[in-house]
C-alpha cells in the first residue's frame, strides 16, 4: 500500500514538475544582481523531519548573507536567489523524482549548484547520476546536508556533503557507554528498508562493539511503515541486553521506544542515531525516549549557536537540530566557495562557472555557527568531532559520558 | 504464548477495521457506488481529534479524550455530507465510475491539503502528528499475555457503536427506509420514501462512524498522518469484498478476522507481508465463494 501511495505521489509530483518544465525559466545572473542556486529537500513525507530543518537552516543563512550584502562575484555584491523561490523543490521521498528535479535544475533552471537530498536512497541515486552528467559534459555540484549513507560522496567528484558522519563517532559512543554501564551484551533494532541503517550497523557499530568485547545477542528488523513492534521488543526481552541500538527513522524509532516502555524492556542504555536528532523525536517521543543516548555534532546549549537557535525558533516554533545546523553551514560553505572561485556568473559562462565552483567548493573552509572550524576532506565530507548527548525532559542535553 | 497475544490484540484492534468497513459498505449498499473519500474522511476526523487532544492537554485527561472522540464523529459526519454534495449528488445520472473518480479527487485534495496544514499549523508536524491520550501506556497482564488498555477501550466502544447501528438499521423508521432504498431505490421512491434524505443520512452516519474509527485508530497508534486513510481504505475494501458487498454483519465480523490476521502476520513475520497475505486470503475466498463470506443468496426472477 505504501508503494501505492508513493507511486501515486510520485505521479502527481512528476506531473507538477512536467508542467513547471514547460514554463520558461527566468534568467537571473550577474547583470540582475543574483546568483542562482537550486534547493531540493524533502519537504513532505517520511523524510521531511530531516529535509525541512535543512531547508529552514539554509534559508536563514541565505537571509543573513543577503542582508549583509550578498556574495562577492567578480568584484560585485550579488544576492543568493533560491530556485524556485521561496523554498526550492520538494523532493518528497522518491529517488526517481529527485533525479527528475536534478535534471530540471541543471538544464532548465540553470543553477550554479544544487543543495538537497534528505535521505539515503535518493542521495545514492542522485550522486550516481552525477557521473552520467559528467560523461555528458554537463556536470554540476550537488551538496547534501542530511544524507549519512557511508561512502556517498565517494560516488562522484561532483557530490559533496557536510553531514555529521556517525561512522567517525560510534566507537567513541560505545566505549563511553561501556565505561559507564559495564555493558557486555547488545541488541539492534534496524529498519532495513533504508540502506543507511544496516550499513552503519555492519560497517561501524558492530566492529566497534566487537573490539570492546560486547556480544551482539539479537538483530531484529522492521520496515519504515511498521506500526507495531511487539515482536521486536519481545525478541529483545528474551535476551535482556545491556545496550539497545535503535537504528531507524523518526516514527518507527519512537513507536519502538514506546512499545519497549510498555513492555518493560529496560537495558542499561538505549542508543539512537542522527535520525533521532529531530524536533519530532522530542515532540512525539515524550518520556518513552527519555534517557536515550546519541551522538550529535554540537551542543544546543552552547552560547555559539544561540543566535541561530533563537531565529530558528522564532520562525518555526521548534528547536534547532543537527539538520538545521548543517543546512546553515552549507550556505556559508557555498558563500566561501563562490567568493574564491573566480566565476563570472553569466549564462554564457555557466558550464565553466560550475567547474570553477566545484574546485573552489572542495577547498571551502568556514567557522560553523556551532563554533567548530570545518572544511571538506579528500572524500568531500566535513569531519566533525561530535558530542555525546542524551534526551532529558524533552531536550537534547550533553551526556556525562563526554 | 506470543501467538495467543497477537490473536487477542488482533481481535480487539480489529474492531476499528469493522468500523471502517461498516461505513464503507453502508454507503455502497444504498448508492451502489464506492466512496473512495471514505479513507480521507477517517484521516480528517483523526486530525480533528488530535487537534483537540493537543490543544487541550489530552495526554492526561479522559475528558479531553472523550471530547476529541465527539469532535471526530461530528467532523466525520459533516465531511460525509460535504463529500456526498460535491462528489456524488451532481452525478446521480452519470456513469457508475464517475463518483469513483470524483471521490478519489476529493481524497487527493484532502490529503494534499493536510500535507500543507501539517507543515503550517505549529501543533502538527510534517511527517506525523501525535495524538496524545491517557491510554497510551495503559497495559494489562493476563498471565504472561500483555493486552494494551487502548485496544480494550477500542473494542468496547466499537462494539457499542456496532450494536447501536444494528438497532438503528433494524428497528427504526429511518433504518427501514435505508434497507428499502438498499433493496430498490425506485420502488422506495414510489412508496413515498425520500431517497435523497436517506442518502444524506447514510453519508452522515457512515462518515460519523468513519470519524469514530479515525479517532480510535489515532489513539491506538499515537499518531495521525495525511496518508493514514489510504491504507485503511484498502483494508476496508478487502473486508467488504471478503464479507460480501453491502453486508453489514459480514463487515463487522470480517473486520475482526482481518485484525487478527494482520496482527499475527506482523507479529510472526513482518508488517511488509500483511497486505500480501490479506490479498492471498481474499483471492482464495473469492475463488471458492465469489459473492463473499456473508452475502445472502441472490433472488432471481425470470
d(CA B201, CA B239): 23
In a domain, residue A268? The reply is yes
Interchain CB contact of A317 with B (< 8 Å): yes
Q: Are B230 and A223 a contacting pair at CB < 8 A?
A: no
Burial class (CB in 10 A: 0-12, 13-18, 19+), A223: middle
Interchain CB contact of B6 with A (< 8 Å): yes
Nearest to A93 by CA among A61, A124, A117, A68: A117
Classify strands A387-392 and A293-296 as parallel, antiparallel or unpaired. Answer: antiparallel
Domain end (from A240, A266, A296): A296
CB distance A378 to A278 below 8 Å: no
Instruction: Show residues of chain A in contact with B268, CB under 8 Å.
Output: 231
What is the distance, to the nearest Å, from the Cα of residue A74 to the centroid of all Cα atoms in its chain?
Answer: 32
DSSP single-letter state for residue A184? -
Interchain CB contact of A226 with B (< 8 Å): yes
Interface of B with A in 118-147 (CB under 8 A): 119, 122, 125-128, 130, 132, 136-137, 139, 146
Interface of A with B in 343-402 (CB under 8 A): none
Q: Are A223 and B275 a contacting pair at CB < 8 A?
A: no
In a domain, residue A228? The reply is yes
In a domain, residue A3? The reply is no
Q: Are B234 and A4 a contacting pair at CB < 8 A?
A: yes
In a domain, residue A138? The reply is yes
Domain end (from A245, A261, A296): A296
Asked if A185 and A232 sit in the same domain, the reply is yes
Domain end (from A296, A324, A347): A296
Asked if A160 and A35 sit in the same domain, the reply is yes
Q: Which residues contact B212 (CB under 8 A, 6 or more apart)?
A: B19, B45, B69, B72, B73, B76, B157, B158, B161
In a domain, residue A12? The reply is no
Q: Which domain holds residue A187?
A: 167-296
For chain A, the first-to-last Cα distance in angstroms comes to 44
d(CA A180, CA A176): 6
Nearest to A305 by CA among A51, A60, A59, A39: A60
Q: Are A262 and B146 a contacting pair at CB < 8 A?
A: yes
Q: Are B271 and A222 a contacting pair at CB < 8 A?
A: yes
Asked if A368 and A279 sit in the same domain, the reply is no
Three-class DSSP labels, chain B: CHHHHHHHHHHHHHHHHHHHHHHHHHHHHHHCCCCCCHHHHHHHHHHHHHHHHHHCCCCCCHHHHHHHHHHHHHHHHHHHHHHHHHHHHHHCCCCCHHHHHHHHHHHHHHHHHHHHHHHHCCCCCCCCEECCCCCCCCEEEECCEEEEHHHHHHHHHHHHHHHHHHHHHHHCHHHHHHHHHHHCHHHHHHCCCCHHHHHHHHHHHHHHHHHHHHHHHHHHHCEECCCHHHHHHHHHHHHHHHHCCCCHHHHHHHHHHHHHHHHHHHHHCCHHHHHHHHHHHHHHHHHHCCCCCCCCCCCCCC
Of A44, A250, A262, the CB nearest to B139: A262
Asked if A159 and A285 sit in the same domain, the reply is no
Asked if A34 and A71 sit in the same domain, the reply is yes
Asked if A143 and A77 sit in the same domain, the reply is yes
Asked if A59 and A109 sit in the same domain, the reply is yes
C-alpha cell at B195: 431517497
d(CA A394, CA A281): 9
C-alpha cell at A341: 572561485
Interchain CB contact of A97 with B (< 8 Å): no
Q: Are B126 and A52 a contacting pair at CB < 8 A?
A: yes
Give the torsion through C-alpha atoms of A304, A307, A308, A313, to 10 deg: 130
DSSP single-letter state for residue A24? P
Instruction: Show residues of chain B in contact with A250, CB under 8 Å.
Output: 127
Asked if A43 and A81 sit in the same domain, the reply is yes
Domain count, chain A: 2
Q: What is the pLDDT of residue A20?
A: 47
Asked if A223 and A279 sit in the same domain, the reply is yes
Nearest to A167 by CA among A384, A396, A371, A328: A384
Output b/e per residue, A19-42; b: 16+ Cβ within 10 A: eeeeeebeebbbeeebbbbbbbbb
CB distance A184 to A213 below 8 Å: yes
Asked if A281 and A212 sit in the same domain, the reply is yes
Nearest-Cα distance to chain A for B79, in Å, is: 22
| Structure confidence by residue, pLDDT tens digits, B288-299 | 988 888 876 654
C-alpha cell at B181: 432504498
Radius of gyration in angstroms for the set of CA atoms belonging to chain B, rounded to a whole number: 19
Burial class (CB in 10 A: 0-12, 13-18, 19+), B137: middle
Q: Which residues contact B254 (CB under 8 A, 6 or more apart)?
A: B18, B21, B239, B240, B242, B243, B293, B294
In a domain, residue A382? The reply is no
Instruction: Show residues of chain B in contact with A45, CB under 8 Å.
Output: 127
Q: How far is CA B186 from CA B189, B194, B196, in A?
A: 5, 11, 12
Asked if A92 and A108 sit in the same domain, the reply is yes
Give the residue carrying C-alpha cell 515482536.
Answer: A231
What is the distance, to the nearest Å, from the Cα of residue A26 to the centroid of all Cα atoms in its chain?
Answer: 30
DSSP single-letter state for residue A256? H
Interchain CB contact of B3 with A (< 8 Å): no
Give the residue carrying C-alpha cell 528547536.
Answer: A319
Q: Which residues contact A362 (CB under 8 A, 6 or more apart)?
A: A160, A376, A380
pLDDT tens for chain A, 402 residues long, are 333 344 455 555 555 545 444 444 445 688 889 999 999 999 887 788 889 999 999 999 999 999 999 999 999 999 999 988 899 999 887 889 999 999 999 999 999 999 998 888 889 999 999 999 999 999 999 999 998 887 888 999 999 999 888 888 899 999 999 999 999 999 999 998 888 899 899 999 999 999 999 999 999 988 887 878 888 998 999 999 999 999 998 889 999 999 999 989 999 999 999 889 888 898 888 889 999 999 888 887 778 888 999 999 999 888 888 899 999 999 999 999 999 999 999 999 999 999 999 999 999 999 999 989 999 999 999 988 888 999 999 888 888 854
CATH number at residue A120: 3.40.50.2300
In a domain, residue A51? The reply is yes
DSSP single-letter state for residue A202? I
d(CA B248, CA B162): 9
Nearest-Cα distance to chain A for B301, in Å, is: 41
Q: Which residues contact A132 (CB under 8 A, 6 or more apart)?
A: none
DSSP single-letter state for residue A118? -
d(CA B192, CA B215): 37
CB distance B99 to B88 below 8 Å: yes
Interchain CB contact of A280 with B (< 8 Å): yes
Q: How far is CA A317 from CA A301, A313, B122, in A?
A: 17, 5, 7
Mutate which of B127, B264, B272 to disrupt the A interface (most A C-beta within 10 Å)?
Answer: B127
Q: What is the pLDDT of residue A28?
A: 67
Nearest residue on chain A to B226, judged by CA atoms? A45
In degrees and rounded to multiples of 5, residue A347 shows phi and psi of -60, -35
CB distance A217 to A241 below 8 Å: yes
Q: What is the pLDDT of residue A268?
A: 96
C-alpha cell at B184: 430498490
Q: What is the pLDDT of residue B171?
A: 92
Give the max Cα distance, chain A: 68
Residues in chain B with pLDDT values less than 70? 1, 296-302
CB distance A262 to A232 below 8 Å: no
Give the residue carrying C-alpha cell 502527481.
Answer: A12
- Beta carbon pairs, A and B, within 8 Å: 89
| Structure confidence by residue, pLDDT tens digits, A59-109 | 999 999 999 999 999 999 999 999 888 999 998 878 899 999 999 999 999
Q: For residue B84, what are the β-bridge partners?
A: none
Instruction: Show residues of chain B in contact with A2, CB under 8 Å.
Output: 231
C-alpha cell at A351: 558550464
Interchain CB contact of B268 with A (< 8 Å): yes
Interchain CB contact of A45 with B (< 8 Å): yes
Q: Are B267 and A231 a contacting pair at CB < 8 A?
A: yes
Q: CA angle B68-B73-B77, nearest 5°?
A: 145
Asked if A233 and A324 sit in the same domain, the reply is no
Q: What is the pLDDT of residue A70?
A: 96
Q: Are B271 and A44 a contacting pair at CB < 8 A?
A: no
DSSP single-letter state for residue A27? P
Q: What is the pLDDT of residue B109?
A: 94
Give the residue carrying C-alpha cell 555528458.
Answer: A136
In a domain, residue A67? The reply is yes
Q: How many CB atoms lie within 10 A of CB B74?
A: 14
ipTM value > 0.90: no
Q: How far is CA B32 from CA B88, B181, B182, in A?
A: 11, 10, 8
d(CA B65, CA B219): 9
Q: Which residues contact B219 (CB under 8 A, 6 or more apart)?
A: B49, B65, B131, B133, B135, B150, B154
Amino acid at each position: 500500500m505504501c508503494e501505492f501511495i508513493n507511486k501515486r505521489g510520485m505521479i502527481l509530483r512528476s506531473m507538477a514538475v512536467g508542467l513547471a518544465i514547460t514554463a520558461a525559466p527566468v534568467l537571473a545572473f550577474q547583470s540582475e544582481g543574483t546568483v542562482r542556486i537550486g534547493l531540493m529537500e524533502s519537504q513532505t513525507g517520511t523524510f521531511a523531519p530531516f529535509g525541512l530543518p535543512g531547508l529552514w537552516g539554509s534559508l536563514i543563512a541565505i537571509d543573513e548573507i543577503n542582508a549583509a550584502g550578498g556574495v562577492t562575484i567578480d568584484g560585485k555584491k550579488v544576492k543568493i536567489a533560491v530556485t524556485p523561490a521561496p523554498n526550492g523543490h520538494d523532493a518528497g521521498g522518491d529517488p526517481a523524482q529527485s533525479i527528475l528535479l536534478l535534471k530540471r535544475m541543471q538544464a532548465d533552471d540553470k543553477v550554479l549548484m544544487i543543495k538537497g537530498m534528505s535521505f539515503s536512497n535518493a542521495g545514492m541515486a542522485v550522486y550516481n547520476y552525477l557521473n552520467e552528467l559528467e560523461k555528458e559534459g554537463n556536470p554540476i555540484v550537488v551538496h547534501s546536508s542530511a544524507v549519512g549513507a557511508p561512502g556517498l560522496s565517494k560516488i562522484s567528484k561532483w557530490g559533496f556533503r557536510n553531514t555529521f558522519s556517525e561512522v567517525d563517532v560510534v566507537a567513541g559512543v560505545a566505549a563511553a557507554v561501556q565505561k559507564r554501564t559495564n555493558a557486555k551484551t547488545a541488541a539492534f533494532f534496524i529498519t532495513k528498508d533504508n540502506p543507511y541503517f544496516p550499513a552503519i550497523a555492519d560497517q561501524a557499530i558492530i566492529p566497534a562493539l566487537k573490539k570492546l568485547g560486547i556480544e551482539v545477542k539479537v538483530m531484529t528488523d522492521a520496515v519504515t511503515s511498521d506500526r507495531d513492534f511487539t515482536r521486536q521488543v519481545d525478541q529483545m526481552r528474551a535476551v535482556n541486553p545491556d545496550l539497545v541500538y535503535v537504528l531507524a527513522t523518526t516514527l518507527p524509532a519512537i513507536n519502538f521506544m514506546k512499545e519497549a516502555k510498555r513492555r518493560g524492556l529496560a537495558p542499561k542504555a538505549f542508543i539512537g542515531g542522527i535520525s533521532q536528532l529531530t524536533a519530532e523525536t522530542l515532540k512525539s517521543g515524550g518520556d518513552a525516549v527519555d534517557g536515550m543516548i546519541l551522538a550529535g555534532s554540537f551542543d544546543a546549549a552552547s552560547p555559539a549557536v544561540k543566535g541561530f537557535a533563537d531565529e530558528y525558533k522564532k520562525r518555526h516554533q521548534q528547536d534547532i537540530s543537527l539538520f538545521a545546523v548543517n543546512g546553515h553551514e552549507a550556505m556559508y560553505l557555498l558563500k566561501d566557495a563562490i567568493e574564491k572561485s573566480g566565476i563570472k556568473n553569466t549564462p554564457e559562462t555557466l558550464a565553466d562557472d560550475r567547474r570553477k565552483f566545484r574546485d573552489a567548493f572542495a577547498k571551502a573552509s568556514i567557522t560553523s555557527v556551532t563554533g567548530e572550524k570545518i572544511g571538506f576532506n579528500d572524500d568531500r565530507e566535513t569531519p566533525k568531532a561530535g558530542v555525546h548527548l542524551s534526551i532529558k525532559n524533552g531536550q537534547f542535553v550533553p551526556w556525562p559520558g563526554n | 504464548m506470543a501467538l495467543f497475544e497477537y490473536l487477542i490484540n488482533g481481535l480487539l484492534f480489529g474492531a476499528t477495521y469493522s468500523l471502517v468497513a461498516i461505513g464503507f459498505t453502508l454507503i455502497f449498499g444504498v448508492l451502489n457506488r464506492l466512496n473512495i473519500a471514505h479513507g480521507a474522511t477517517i484521516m480528517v476526523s483523526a486530525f480533528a481529534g488530535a487537534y483537540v487532544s493537543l490543544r487541550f492537554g489530552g495526554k492526561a485527561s479522559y475528558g479531553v479524550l472523550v471530547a476529541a472522540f465527539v469532535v471526530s464523529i461530528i467532523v466525520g459526519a459533516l465531511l460525509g455530507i460535504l463529500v456526498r454534495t460535491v462528489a456524488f449528488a451532481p452525478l446521480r445520472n452519470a456513469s457508475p465510475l464517475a463518483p469513483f473518480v470524483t471521490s478519489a479527487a476529493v481524497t487527493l485534495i484532502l490529503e494534499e491539503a493536510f500535507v500543507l496544514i501539517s507543515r503550517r499549523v505549529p501543533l502538527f508536524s510534517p511527517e506525523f502528528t501525535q495524538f496524545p491520550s491517557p491510554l497510551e501506556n495503559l497495559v494489562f497482564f493476563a498471565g504472561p499475555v500483555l493486552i494494551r488498555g487502548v485496544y480494550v477501550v477500542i473494542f468496547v466502544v466499537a462494539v457499542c457503536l456496532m450494536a447501536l447501528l444494528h438497532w438503528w438499521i433494524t428497528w427504526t423508521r429511518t433504518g427501514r427506509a435505508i434497507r428499502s432504498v438498499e433493496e430498490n431505490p425506485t420502488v422506495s421512491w414510489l412508496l413515498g420514501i425520500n431517497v435523497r434524505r436517506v442518502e444524506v443520512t447514510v453519508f452522515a452516519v457512515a462518515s460519523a462512524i468513519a470519524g469514530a474509527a479515525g479517532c480510535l485508530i489515532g489513539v491506538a497508534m499515537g499518531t495521525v498522518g495525511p496518508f493514514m486513510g489510504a491504507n485503511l481504505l484498502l483494508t476496508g475494501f478487502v473486508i467488504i469484498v471478503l464479507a460480501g458487498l453491502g453486508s453489514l454483519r459480514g463487515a463487522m465480523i470480517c473486520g475482526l478476522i482481518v485484525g487478527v490476521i494482520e496482527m499475527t502476520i506482523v507479529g510472526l513475520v513482518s508488517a511488509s507481508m500483511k497486505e500480501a497475505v490479506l490479498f492471498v486470503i481474499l483471492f482464495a475466498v473469492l475463488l471458492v465463494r465469489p459473492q463473499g463470506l456473508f452475502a445472502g443468496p441472490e433472488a432471481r426472477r425470470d
